[in-house]
Copies of this chain bind each other. A is one copy, B any other.
Amino acid sequence: MSTRLDEFRTKRQRMNERILQRAPLGIKRFFNLDTSAYKDGALPGRTKELLGLVASAVLRCNDCIDYHLIQCVEAGFRDDELYEALNVALVVGGSIVVPHLRHAFETIELLRAEEKA
């Protein structure tokens, strides 16, 4: 079942490479800015990944949720911490976020299964 995440990672990387080969300079610079925004700074990088997760959830983008969940799990967040962050997203964004909450809970399960394997 973990193929959903593998497919996401493979397709994401393939298309990002294609974009970076072909895109104008502005798009490449945006990609750099995006990466830099989550590095350690005045706030720890892991806190900023959590900010990215909640922003992705209220804006309702499953690919963005998956990406930030991968980063958050790698940064060592526990399930109960991720659930509370998602609860903030749910309260701010309302029931329209619920389908993305279901998606996020499934992704967390898949990521924990990967950790065990």
Residues of A within 8 A of B (CB): 11-12, 15-16, 18-19, 22-27, 29-30, 33-34, 36-38, 41-43, 47-48, 50-52, 54-56, 58-61, 63-64, 78-81, 83-99, 101-102, 105-106, 109
Contacts and interface: CB of A to CB of B under 8 A. Distances in A.
B18 A51 contact: no
A93 B19 contact: no
B23 A99 contact: no
B19 A102 contact: yes
Given A59-B96, A63-B99, A99-B61, A24 B41 contact: yes
Contact of A48 (B88, B93, B105): B88
Contacts of A88: 37-38, 48, 51-52, 55
A85 B24 CA distance: 10
Given A37-B26, A81-B42, A84-B43, A93 B94 contact: yes
